[in-house]
Amino acid sequence: MITLRGLTKRYGDTVAVDNLTLDVREGRVTGFLGPNGAGKSTTMRMILGLDRPSRGEALIGGRPYAALRHPVREVGALLDAKALHPARSARDHLLAMARSNGIPARRVDEVLETVGLAKVARRRAGGFSLGMYQRLGVAGALLGDPRVLIFDEPVNGLDPDGVRWIRELTRNLADEGRTVFLSSHLMSEMQLTADQLVIIGRGTLLANTSMSEFLANSAATAVRVRGPEPGSIAMLRHRLESHSADPAVRVDVVSDTELVVRGTTVEFVGDVAHALAVRLHELRTMSASLEQAYMELTAESVEYAVPGSTAGANPSPRQEAQV
């Protein structure tokens, strides 16, 4: 488990990470999200002892990284896939890591096979594509068979098959009871991969919740209503707009027989329709996508916003994403 308690990092007057407190637990994939400059990489560097916190602590299994007796066997990390000597072959790079950490050479061949680089193991890394660098970085993280894995943007440069491979790999690692802490800007893939979400903005914790709870509580989630009688649907719309006790409830008209109701539940809309004896052909929840819910939450935390950006805006009535 990774434990952060009051973790803070300042660079002069700039606060990169601000009083971050959370637990990253074993047996699940924890997705780490935030806009550019939010403090994700800085947080990961402090966990790995590469940056010193200004205040607070980051612990792995109850100890700082510097206190681990065999760090490569306890924590595997991929922060910068190109942080290696380009003249070395993939195998020699991993072999140097293995020998310096008391890991048998046969493990090098095992992880090269796992990441799909066995056939190019003796090629110089300097000629690798970005996707191959990423695979080699993952191999290095897996080398010591650690219980804790930290991956910073591991899908960068990967083709669709590689992206699916990373998803399946991280899921399998979590299913084995390991702690997997993963950052990515690829929202659709994170939605398929992560069990838990940690979201930060401007160094501050914005959310620490399960994927299902985060999506269910998003204001981007709505209720679609459709019926055969325009007059009845108009009456339902009027009742929802005029009798709702919650000012957050909003009704969007898709057509004279179809509505999208935001800020309430399918049960509430169904009860109102029943009370009015309105016949319906469709009544269901439109689930928000992770991208919609994330943009909504982080709209005020984007450091490099483009003028006229629609970040955080509600989706159109016709926009619907599958969970």
pLDDT tens-digit map of 248-272: 788 989 999 999 998 788 899 999 9
* Topology (CATH) of 222-286: Alpha-Beta Plaits (3.30.70)
Q: Which amino acid is at 300?
A: E
pLDDT tens-digit map of 15-34: 999 999 999 999 999 999 99
Whether 64 and 56 have beta carbons less than 8 Å apart is answered as no
Whether 265 and 223 have beta carbons less than 8 Å apart is answered as yes
16-178-78 Cα angle (round to 5): 45
| 281 has pLDDT over 50 | yes
Helical pair 160-175 and 130-142, crossing angle rounded to 10 deg: 10
Tokens describing residue 245: 């006790």
Residues in the chain: 323
Whether 195 and 28 have beta carbons less than 8 Å apart is answered as yes
DSSP state letters, 293-323: HHHHHHTTT-TTPPTT--TTPPPPTT-----
Nearest to 261 by CA among 296, 227, 300, 299: 227
CATH superfamily of 2-210: P-loop containing nucleotide triphosphate hydrolases (3.40.50.300)
What is the reported pTM?
0.78
C-alpha 53: how far from its chain's center? Answer: 23
pLDDT tens-digit map of 229-248: 999 999 999 999 886 666 67
Parallel, antiparallel, or unpaired for β 179-183 and 28-33? parallel
- Which stretch of 71-75, 203-207, 282-286, 314-318 has the lowest confidence by average pLDDT? 314-318
- Which stretch of 200-204, 286-290, 302-306 has the lowest confidence by average pLDDT? 302-306
Residue 314: which pLDDT band, with cuts at 50, 70 and 90? very low
Whether 30 and 4 have beta carbons less than 8 Å apart is answered as no
- Domain locations along the chain: 2-210, 222-286
The mean pLDDT value for 173-178 works out to 97
